[in-house]
Structure 1
Amino acid sequence: MNRSPLAAGLALAIAAPIVVSAPTLSADASGGAETLDTIVVTATRSPTPIARGLAATTVLDRSAIEQAQAPDLIDLLARQAGIDVSRTGGPGSLSTLFLRGGNSNHTLVLIDGVRVNSVQQGQYDLANLPLDRIERIEIVRGPRAALWGSDAIGGVIQIFTRDPGQRGAQVRLGSFERREGAAQWGVSGERGSFGIGGGVQDAEGYNVSTPTSFGFDPDRDGFRNRHLSLGGRTTLGTQAVGVNLLSTVADVEFDRGLTESHSVSGGATLGGPLAKRWTHSLALGEAREDLKTLSSFGSRFESRRRSADWLHDLVLTDGQTLLFGVNRVSEDALSRNAANAVVYDRNRHNTGVFGAWRGAIGAQQWDLAARSDDSSQFGRTTTAQAAWGLAFGDGWRLRASWGQGFRAPNTNELYSPGFGGFFAGNPNLDPERSRSAELGLGWQGTAGGIDLSAYRSRVTDLIAFAGPTFGATNINQARLDGVELDGRWTLGSLGIRGNVGWQRAENAVTGAPLLRRAPRKAALSLDLPANDWLRFGLDATAASRRQDFDGPLGGYTRFDLRAEADLGPDWALRARLENLLDRRYTLASGFAPPERSLLVELAWRPGR
C-alpha cells in the first residue's frame, strides 16, 4: 500500500462543520454533566442544544475529563451510561467496548469527524488514544446509520482533539513505574488559531495474565506511547477553514510477544454560509493504521481510509431545517503473515447520500432522516430513523424514536485464511442489520437533571464463526433490551453524578447471554470541595455477574478516590488512588486488572 504524507496531513474533514462551528461545552459542579446551553453535534450532524436533542447523549468536556482524573480513555468511558468494557490488563492493553449490549464493532468511533474503526478488525482500540489529546467527547446511544452509515448500530462515540489555541502541560508519576508527560502550545488571535501538542507515556507494567491464560509467562507487561497533534483554524472571507492531525505510536507487551501500533487520522474542512439561510461544510479526511504483532504467530495489518463529505444545512420557515449531504469513502486493507508474505490485499469504496428534516410545532419536535449507501462490494443499503419529542411541565420532556442500522463485514471476516483451516473468512457474507425502538423521559433544571431510556433492538445476519471449522457465516440473531437511568444533581457544594443500567443481551435463537456484558451495572461520582483551593472526589463502579468464553465472571464493586489542589492561579496538583479497597475482579477471563494503584499529576493550565 502506498503511503501519502500529504494525504495524511489533510485529514480532519468529515467533522468540519462540527469542529469549526461548535462552541465550547461547559461542565457543572458534578463533573462533566451537560448544562442546558451545551451544544452537541454528533446525534444530528449539526449544532443542536442538548435540551432539544431527541437522542440519549452524554457529553464530557475538557474540564470534566480533568476532574475525573481517569488513568486512560477506556476507564473514563467505562463509567458512562450504557457502556460495558473488557480489557486484558492495565494501560495500553487490548480493550473492547460494548454500547447498549451490541458487539464491539457495533459502535462507530469518530475522531474530529473522521471514521477510525479499523478496516481490518472493525473496531477502534481506544486504549492507544491519550486523554491529553482530547478536548471533548460526545456519546450518542442508539442507531445513527441514517446519518453516519455503517457501524453505528449501538451508537456513535465522537472524540474531538484539543482546541488549537490552548496552552498547558502535565507530568504524571504512578504505580507500576508509570511515567508520563504531555504539553500543548497554541496561539490565537483575530485571524484564527494554531496549536501543537504531544506527549509520551511509559509504564513497566505488571503481569496482566493469570496461569489459565494461553502462553502464560509471569513477566511484567509494559506499555509505551508517543503521540502528536496539530490543529489550526482561520477564515477566508465568510468561510471557516480548519485542519487537524493526530498521530499515536504505541508498543504493548503481552506474554511471549509485542504489538506495535501506529495510527494517524486527520483532515481539512471548509465551511460557512452560502446564502442567508444556507450553510455548508466540505470535509476531506483520512485515517491510517499499521498494526504489527511480533510473536510466533506474528502478523501485520495495514489499512487506509479516505473520505469526503459535503454537508448542507438549510433553514426553512417556521423553525424547520433541512439537512442533506453526500459522503464518499475508499478503503484499502493489506494483511501479511509472520514471514511477511501477503495474505490479502483488498480495496472497496462506498457512496452515501442522506437527508434529514427537523422541526417543532409548539411543544412538539420531530426528526426524520434517511440514507442510501451504495457499496462496491455489497450493493445498496437503505436506512432510516425517526424521532418525536414533547416538552411539558417545568423542564420535562418525553421522546420516542425508531431507527435502523447496519454493519459491513470487515476484511478479516471476509478474507482471512484462518489458522490451519479453522476460523477462516467468508467473501460471501452479508452485512449485519438492526432495528431499534426507544422511549425516553427526561428532566432538566438549574440544579441537575435526569434521563430515563428504555430500548429494544434486534440484530439479524449477525456474523459468527460456526460449523465444524468455525468459519465466518451469517447465522446469529441478537436480542438487546435495556433500561438506563442517568442523572446529576448539585446539593449545596456537593456534586453528584450517577447512572444505572439493566440490560438483556442474548442470542435470540439459543437464549445464551452475549459475552462480557453485565445485566446490571452502576456508577456513582461524588465531588466535594473542602475550600476554595482543595477538592475531593469519590468514584464507585459496580457490575453484576456476566458470561465469558470459559465460564462466568464474578460481579464486583470498585472505589476510586480523587483529590485536586490549586497551587496558585495556573498550577494544579492531582492524585488518584484507584481500586481503593484493593479488590480482585476480572474484566476478561485469563487477565487481571491492576491492583490498588496511585497516579499523581502536576498540571500547568494558564488562564484557567
Structure 2
Amino acid sequence: MVLPLAALKSGLARHCHGALIAAIGVLPLASTAYAADDTAQTLAPVVVTSTRAPQPLAESIPQTSVFDEQDIADSNANDALGLVALAPGVQVTRNGGPGSNSGLFIRGAASSQSLVLIDGVRVDSASLGAAQLSQLMLDQIGRVEVVNGNVSALYGSNAIGGVVQIFTKEGEPHPPRFAFEAEYGSYHTQRQSAGVNGALDKDGRTTFSVNVSREKTDGFSSIDPAIAPGVNPNANGYLNESVAATLRHKFGDKWDAGVRFLQSNGINSFDEAYGQPTDINESHDRVRSASVFANGRITDAWTTHFTIAQGQDRANIEQNGVYTSRFDSENRQYTWQNDVRISEAHKLLFGYEHLDQTLDSDQFAAPDRHLNSVFAGYVGHIGANELQANLRHDQYSDFGGANSYYLGYAYNFDAHWRASASYSASFRAPSFDDLYYPLSGNPSIQPERSHSVETALQYASSALGVMRVTLFQTRYSNLIDYVSDGSFYYVAQNVGRAKVQGVEGSWAGHVGATDLRAGVTFQNPVDETNHEDLTRRARRFATLTAHRTIGRWRVGGEWIVSGQRSDYDSTLSGYGVVNLSARYDIAKSWYVTARIDNLFDKDYELAYSYNTPRRGAYITLGWHPS
C-alpha cells in the first residue's frame, strides 16, 4: 500500500511520535530445560511469545527467534531496532541516524501491522499505530523474542506480520552485583551504562534489577541536500537517557508479585524536507511504563497471573525553539491470564484484558477508546502429533468487534525432523490518525483484515541447532488507503488489497565452537490495488552472524544484505553491510570491546533521500562481576 504525498508529509511532520500503551505482565521465563533425547540442548531455550506460556523453542509451531544475553552482547547494535534486524523475515528502515523515525517490516507487513511488546506491554502509538523500537536501548534489555506470522489470536490488533517481545533485565537470587560500561566512537558518540541486580535478603526471595544508561552522538545530516536542497545541512544528533527497574518478591512456593518500570527519554534532531535550510527541528520523546503484577498457583495444575499497568507515550516536535505539535498517549490496561495443565501433554489457557486508551494532542481531538478482550488457547501432544489452537474476540468502543484465530499442527518424524502447518486470521484496528486526523481521518472505517497460511520443515539437534524452511502466504483485505477526495486532501478508506508470498530460511545454532545465526527470505510483497511492490519491502534479503570464543577473545561479525526496494516513485538500490566486533577479557572482571560498523564504507539508503552512517569505529571499556 502506497501512501499519497499528502499523507507522507503529515507523517514526516510528526515523525518521532513514539509509543507506550500499557503493561501486560507475563510469566517469567522458565529456567528448567526440556530434556528427553539428543535434542535437549537445542530445546533448552524456553520461549513464551508463540503461545503466551513457556515452551521449548524447537516445539514452537510459529517461526520464533530468540536473542539472549550473549546475542545482545555480541551484536553491533545499540538499540532494539538494530538487534531485531538480524532476525529472519525482518526488515527495518531509519530516517537518519540513532533515534530517528524507524520502520519495522516482518514478512512484508507494515510497521503498524507488526506488534511490539515490552514484558507483555503494548508500545504502539495511539495516534500512528506503530512502535518506536529505535528509542529502546539494549542496556535495559535482557532478552528478545521475534515471532513471524499472524498471531492476533494471542495478542489482538496489529499482530499480522508478527510480534517482537522485549524482556527487560530481571533480578537474580544472589548478593547484589554491579556492572558498568563506557563507550566512545565515531560521530563523537559517548555512551555510559550502569546496572545492579541481586537479592535483598539471604534466601533470595526478594530480587531486584536497576539499569541506567546515557548515550549522546553528534550524528550526521539525515537528508541528502542534493535531493532536498531546502534541508538544513547540519549534523543531526541524538541524546537518550533510559532507566529500567524490576522488584519481585516470592511469597512461599506458590505466589510471587512485583513491579516493573521503564522510561526512555530521547531528543532527536531531524531534517524536514519541506522546511528552510536554517530550520532546527527536534523531537522530544518519552516512553514510560509502570506495572504491578502477581502470579500464583491455585492448584498444582492451575496458575493465574494478574497485571495492572499504566503507560505513557509523549512526543513533542520543536522547530526553532518553539513547540509545533504535541501527542500524548495514556493507556491503562488490566490483564488476567490462567494456565491449566489438563495432563502432562495437554494445556489450556484463557484470560481477559481491558484497555482504556486516550490521546491528548494540540493537532486534533479524539474520543477515548475502550477495549474488552477475551482469549483462549490449547497446546497438546498426541504421540508424534502436536496441536495449537487459539481464539480471541476484541470488542472496541469506536468500531465494534473483531475475531481472530490460529490453528497449528506439527508432526515429528523422529527426534530431529518435523513438519508443521498453520492457518490464521488477524486484524489491525484503525489508529486514531486513521479515524480522526483533520481532513484525512474517517470515523466510519473498519479494521484491516488478513488470512495467513504457512508450512515448514525443521531440523533440530544439539550438534547444529535449529534449522527451518518456511513457505508462507498472507492475504490482506480492507486495507486502509488514503484516497483523494477530489481536492487537495486524501481521506482514509477501506479499499486496499495486498498479498505477500514467500519462502523463509533460518538457522540458529553452531558449528563446533562457532555460534551462527542466519536468515534468508525470498518474498513477493504486492500491492494488489495499485499492482506494484509494497513500499520499502525487498523481494530478497538475508543476514548472517558468526561469533567464536578463543581464549580470552570473543570475535565475530555480521553481514546484512538486501535487494532493491521501491520507495515513493523511486527505487532504492540493493546493499550489503559488514560489521565486525572483538572483545578481550583484560582481567577477571575487566574487558574491552571494539567494533567496526559498515566495514567497507557502503553508501546506501534504507529510506529514500535519507542518509545512513558511513564506516564507524567504537571502543568500550567495561566491568562485570566475576
Output the TM-score relative to the length of structure 2: 0.89
Which residue, 277, 280, 284 being the options, matches 2:308? 284
Please report how far the alpha carbon of residue 569 of structure 1 lies from its aligned counterpart in structure 2 after TM superposition: 2.1
Between the aligned partners of 1:167 and 1:403, the Cα distance in structure 2 is 45
Which residue, 224, 230, 235 being the options, matches 1:220? 235
User: Where does 1:75-94 land on structure 2 (aligned, <5 Å)?
Assistant: 75-94=82-101
What's 2:469 paired with?
A: 452
Deviations 1:126-164 (A, max 9, x none): 111110000000101111111111111111111011123
Does structure 1 residue 487 correspond to structure 2 residue 507?
yes
Does structure 1 residue 259 correspond to structure 2 residue 266?
no
What SS does the corresponding residue of 1:344 show, helix, strand or coil? Answer: coil
Deviations 1:104-135 (A, max 9, x none): 10011111111111111101111111100000
Does structure 1 residue 35 correspond to structure 2 residue 42?
yes
What SS does the corresponding residue of 1:35 show, helix, strand or coil? Answer: helix
What SS does the corresponding residue of 2:430 show, helix, strand or coil? Answer: coil
What's 1:6 paired with?
A: none
User: Where does 1:459-538 land on structure 2 (aligned, <5 Å)?
Assistant: 459-467=476-484, 468=486, 469-529=489-549, 531-538=550-557
Please report how far the alpha carbon of residue 489 of structure 1 lies from its aligned counterpart in structure 2 after TM superposition: 4.4
Between the aligned partners of 1:291 and 1:309, the Cα distance in structure 2 is 26
Please report how far the alpha carbon of residue 13 of structure 1 lies from its aligned counterpart in structure 2 after TM superposition: 5.1
What's 1:375 paired with?
A: 396
- Do 2:22 and 2:333's aligned partners in 1 also have CA atoms closer than 8 Å? no
What SS does the corresponding residue of 1:85 show, helix, strand or coil? Answer: strand
What's 2:183 paired with?
A: 172
Does structure 1 residue 236 correspond to structure 2 residue 254?
no
How many pairs were matched up?
578
- Do 2:66 and 2:146's aligned partners in 1 also have CA atoms closer than 8 Å? yes
Between the aligned partners of 2:32 and 2:245, the Cα distance in structure 1 is 19
Does structure 1 residue 545 correspond to structure 2 residue 564?
yes
Between the aligned partners of 2:591 and 2:463, the Cα distance in structure 1 is 27
Deviations 1:80-100 (A, max 9, x none): 101111101121111111111
User: Where does 1:376-415 land on structure 2 (aligned, <5 Å)?
Assistant: 376-415=397-436
Between the aligned partners of 1:234 and 1:489, the Cα distance in structure 2 is 35
Does structure 1 residue 15 correspond to structure 2 residue 41?
no
Which residue, 459, 464, 470 being the options, matches 1:443? 459
Which residue, 133, 138, 141 being the options, matches 1:131? 138
What SS does the corresponding residue of 2:596 show, helix, strand or coil? Answer: strand
What's 1:7 paired with?
A: none
Comparing 296-305 with 511-520, greater Cα deviation is found at: 296-305
What's 1:30 paired with?
A: none
What SS does the corresponding residue of 2:462 show, helix, strand or coil? Answer: coil
**Structure 2 residue identity aligned to 1:573:** V
Does structure 1 residue 194 correspond to structure 2 residue 201?
no
Which residue, 180, 185, 193 being the options, matches 1:182? 193
User: Where does 1:309-320 land on structure 2 (aligned, <5 Å)?
Assistant: 309-317=335-343, 319-320=345-346
**Unaligned ranges ≥5, structure 1:** 1-10, 27-33, 338-342, 419-423
**Structure 1 residue identity aligned to 2:312:** R
What SS does the corresponding residue of 1:455 show, helix, strand or coil? Answer: strand
What SS does the corresponding residue of 2:43 show, helix, strand or coil? Answer: coil
Q: Which runs of 4+ in 1 moved over 6 A?
A: none
Deviations 1:315-372 (A, max 9, x none): 11362111111111110011114xxxxx214211110111112211101010111111
Deviations 1:440-463 (A, max 9, x none): 111111122311111100111111
Between the aligned partners of 1:429 and 1:12, the Cα distance in structure 2 is 25
TM-align CA RMSD: 1.9
Please report how far the alpha carbon of residue 393 of structure 1 lies from its aligned counterpart in structure 2 after TM superposition: 2.8
**Structure 2 residue identity aligned to 1:178:** T
**Structure 1 residue identity aligned to 2:183:** R
Comparing 493-502 with 45-54, greater Cα deviation is found at: 493-502
- Do 2:23 and 2:122's aligned partners in 1 also have CA atoms closer than 8 Å? no
**Unaligned ranges ≥5, structure 2:** 1-20, 35-40, 272-278
What's 1:29 paired with?
A: none
Which residue, 312, 317, 322 being the options, matches 2:348? 322
Between the aligned partners of 1:167 and 1:405, the Cα distance in structure 2 is 44
Deviations 1:557-587 (A, max 9, x none): 1111111111222222111101101111110
Over the matched positions of the two proteins, sequence identity in percent amounts to 32
Deviations 1:282-311 (A, max 9, x none): 111222111001128921101011111111
Between the aligned partners of 2:299 and 2:508, the Cα distance in structure 1 is 41
Does structure 1 residue 564 correspond to structure 2 residue 583?
yes
What SS does the corresponding residue of 1:316 show, helix, strand or coil? Answer: strand
What SS does the corresponding residue of 2:367 show, helix, strand or coil? Answer: strand
